[in-house]
Structure 1
Amino acid sequence: MWRAADIPTDSYYEVRAECTDVPKTKFKIKAGKTLSVRKWKAAFSPEGYVDIGRTLDRIHRGGIHPDIRGEVWEFLLGSYDPKSTYEERDELREDRRARYTVLKAECRNLFPMIGSGKYVTAPILLENGEPSQDPIVLEQLKLENGEPITMVKETDKKILEWKLTLHQIGLDVVRTDRTLVFYEKQDNLAKLWDILSVYSWFDTDVGYCQGMSDLCSPMIMLFQDEADAFWCFERFMRRIRANFRATDRSMGVETQLGSLASVTQVIDPKLHQHLEELGGGDYLFAVRMLMVLFRREFSFGDSLNLWEMMWALEYDPEMFAMYEDPDDEAKGRAKSIRHYGKFEREVMKSGGKVGEAPLPISVFLVASVLKDKSAKLVAEARGLDDVVKILNEMTGNLDARKACTGAMKLHKKYLKKVKKPP
């Protein structure tokens, strides 16, 4: 039996017995280091105010106990203001649940399979809006009671674009975290499909893009209420949705790829030059790491541990006010510097504006991985295929805590090198 201090976080996310080649966890719940249920509860006042500063350092050093992970994530992602009371949060939660119910009802009116416990993996409409006559589609277009869903030609452009994404969401859903026992249940797959479908309707500017299922999947597991999972995912997307915005000429993640190139050029010019000579100066080989934040490089549990460490390091106490009302007069009010994450504090000390880190920690995480593999990449990579192969070798071999520590060190080094004399 595992002692409390030795429990691997992956023991909370059961892997199917036949899946023997998945990355193993390197993170263990450690007494005195991991944010425990007791320590989390102790951070609350009798009214429900949270002294978030008491938890940030512990989170970025030792992660969060899985029993409270969902609740803590809501604060780290700005769903709730630490300066709110229990009563205020209960009211806000109920309001959000009601809003999600309305959103989901809108989607269900457009396509009755939403909320039915089923999902589609084949195109239900053609590009011209005509219903598909494919037998596979017709077989999928049946509710649990066997009643068929009748499709008609769709002429509304917004609705057509949304319906054209539903099968792609379904295809991604059935491929997401299928090594986990949790997703053996169709109800859980359907819940993931529902949330992503509703989000695609909710955020029409971004819609749905491949990779979002990897980011949403943990929310399904952490929250019993589907609405709570949706809004936590929505807050997560606010942080990174720019990566998913795309036009005919560019994709949103190119901004971070450009930042990664700039950082690497400063801290490891020899590696940057080598990558440019190989034709990799656009750093497209790092797209996946930035888009899904290392979900593929770590075990499931370790990737969650990495995320919460990043969020704790980047934490900004003004996040809730900025999300709820960009014109809120409370925004920018003075707070103790200890209420900010360590990464954010370093940005403030370097002269950056409060709450406006010039570069996200994710860029420095990828840069630290490249720095760690620098000698091997320079010596052995003779083409971009070699670069990808060398980077793929790190799957399952990374340590979340060490990765964050390396990112922080590179961030300091970068700030020191680019800081211009007065």
Structure 2
Amino acid sequence: MNHDEEETSYLTDFQEILQSEVYVDLERLRILARHGVPSQLRGEVWKYLLGVQQADRSRELSSCKARSEEYDQMDKENSDIAKRIRAEVSRYQRRVPQLEGKENVQVFVNVILAYLNSNHDVEYSASLVALCAPFIHVLDTECDAYFCFEKLMQAMEEHFLNVSLKEQVAQFMTLFRCGLPELYFDDEEVDINEWSTSWLQNLLAKEMRFENLVRLWDSYFAMTDPFAFHPFVCLSILLCVKEALEDLEQSEIRTMLLRLPLLNMEMVIADAYNFRHETIERQMSENGEL
């Protein structure tokens, strides 16, 4: 089977699941989505994976209508924050041509303000633009982009309540030191805290090339606990760019870690599974020796 035939077959597998008349098989959808979702179906698949769209097809029309009505009622006003969002979107669009266009700017403003006005404990930060962007790109409607974005933000909030960011950074540093000791930056000029905090806090939304990010999130949304897997992906990325990093000066290293090059995501994800497997084995043997 050649590459085109494989792609057609893969697309057909997704379409079979999504076109089911009674019930969308979420388990099968998750298994397939871990290997990436065809771009033309990504929006629809993400809605199911994130629980925005229910698997029961008989409730589809009524739930779509209810979502749309709920979103229409939301407050999307705050002129000061709207100005800050527009400025950040303008910077973001220069880096991500997939989201160019004035019409997208207003969608960002509406979605982020609807979220902030519905969650008064959340403060605006520029990272919300990068976290929201994949949904605006892959979903057909502003309403669906909002509800998928909200699902991700809720999951992230829950995760950080259980494990603080400080703890996650400390755990990642340990993982980095054990997994890639030859690359571990002992040099004070490369502040591990700075880039690893952003990598862990924002699921690489700010650092990754956009096409890599949406591919990674296909796998994350298909997992039951993507946050536990995420540090291994971060480690895997460091392995991928290891040779390039070893040739760079300190200031260049920082730049590369905050603006990652194009990566082979299939390899990154496969290596992340290997790192996780090795870490579990190492922990088991250490526990056995105690």
Same fold judged by TM-score > 0.5? yes
Determine helix, strand or coil for the equivalent of 1:188. helix
Report what 2:265 is aligned to. Answer: 400
**Distance (whole Å) between structure 1 residues aligned to residue 211 and residue 255 of structure 2:** 24
Report what 2:168 is aligned to. Answer: 256
Report what 1:74 is aligned to. Answer: 47
**Distance (whole Å) between structure 1 residues aligned to residue 205 and residue 8 of structure 2:** 26
Aligned letter for 1:75? Answer: Y
Higher Rg of the two aligned structures: 1
Determine helix, strand or coil for the equivalent of 1:360. helix
Aligned letter for 1:367? Answer: L
Determine helix, strand or coil for the equivalent of 2:100. helix
Aligned letter for 1:289? Answer: W
- Residue 30 of structure 2 is aligned to residue 30 of structure 1: no
1:17-416 map, 5 Å: 30-32=7-9, 34=10, 36=11, 38-43=12-17, 47-61=21-35, 63-82=36-55, 85-104=56-75, 107-108=76-77, 111=78, 164-178=80-94, 179-180=96-97, 183-184=100-101, 186-241=102-157, 253-272=165-184, 275-278=185-188, 282-295=192-205, 298-312=208-222, 314=223, 316=224, 360-374=228-242, 383=250, 385-389=251-255, 391=257, 394-396=260-262, 398-416=263-281
CA contact (8 A) 2:207 2:257 kept: no
TM-score (ref. length: structure 2): 0.81
CA contact (8 A) 1:200 1:206 kept: yes
Determine helix, strand or coil for the equivalent of 1:43. helix
Cα distance change, pair 97–291 in 1 and its aligned pair in 2 (3 A)? same
Aligned letter for 2:261? Answer: T
Cα distance change, pair 393–170 in 1 and its aligned pair in 2 (3 A)? closer
Residue 392 of structure 1 and its aligned partner are, at CA, apart by 6.0
Cα distance change, pair 31–45 in 1 and its aligned pair in 2 (3 A)? closer
Residue 197 of structure 1 and its aligned partner are, at CA, apart by 1.2
Report what 1:5 is aligned to. Answer: 4
Aligned letter for 1:267? Answer: G
Cα distance change, pair 300–244 in 1 and its aligned pair in 2 (3 A)? same
Determine helix, strand or coil for the equivalent of 1:31. helix
Alignment length (residue pairs)? 283
Deviations 1:26-68 (A, max 9, x none): xxx9334x4x1x322322585431222323333222x111221
CA contact (8 A) 2:190 2:254 kept: no
Cα distance change, pair 372–75 in 1 and its aligned pair in 2 (3 A)? same
Residue 196 of structure 1 and its aligned partner are, at CA, apart by 0.8
Q: What is the aligned-residue identity percentage? A: 19
**Distance (whole Å) between structure 2 residues aligned to residue 54 and residue 243 of structure 1:** 25
Aligned letter for 1:414? Answer: T
Cα distance change, pair 288–90 in 1 and its aligned pair in 2 (3 A)? same
**Distance (whole Å) between structure 2 residues aligned to residue 221 and residue 81 of structure 1:** 22
Deviations 1:200-250 (A, max 9, x none): 1112222321111112123223333321111011112123246899xxxxx
Cα distance change, pair 194–44 in 1 and its aligned pair in 2 (3 A)? closer
TM-score (ref. length: structure 1): 0.58
CA contact (8 A) 1:364 1:407 kept: yes
**Distance (whole Å) between structure 2 residues aligned to residue 411 and residue 304 of structure 1:** 22
CA contact (8 A) 2:30 2:49 kept: no
Residue 300 of structure 1 and its aligned partner are, at CA, apart by 2.7
Structure having the larger proportion of residues in helix? 2
